[in-house]
Amino acid sequence: MNMTKTIIAILFVAVLLLPACAQQQPATPQASLEYSNPAQKIEVPVGVAFTITVNANPTTGYTWEAGFDQSLLKLIKRYTPSQTGMIGAGGTESFQFEGMKKGDTQIYLNYKRSFEPNNPGLETKTFHVIIK
């Protein structure tokens, strides 16, 4: 009988302490490194991701093509955030990169139609990137 009371007491304490043990410290928010202005120099440490977001309207057939030094940068993700739902409405296109090693490089974005290979494109943007 005494053993049963001990087990019940231990279970009771465990149930009381379980929520406290389960609580995790909130993650420290990282500063979002987002760029859209080619005049702004991008400076990032090795291994840190950053995003370049540019205006786009894929309903016109135009999309951004990225050119960059693959020995210094890795393209992690390319995405077009959800649109407004309005037919023909413009939006943005984003490229997420990560610096792989120290260096000074550039990212070239060309806004063109992929089905018009001889067309030089409607617009170009060049972003200067320094990986520390």
In order of their start, the domains of the chain are 34-131 (2.60.40.2020)
Output the average pLDDT for the chain.
81
pLDDT band with cut points at 50, 70 and 90 for residue 80: confident
Measured CA to CA, the distance from residue 119 to residue 86 in angstroms comes to 28
**pTM flag (> 0.95):** no
pLDDT higher than threshold 80 for residue 61: yes
Pick 44 or 25 by higher pLDDT: 44
Asked if 41 contacts 57 with a C-beta cutoff of 8 angstroms, the reply is no
pLDDT higher than threshold 90 for residue 60: no
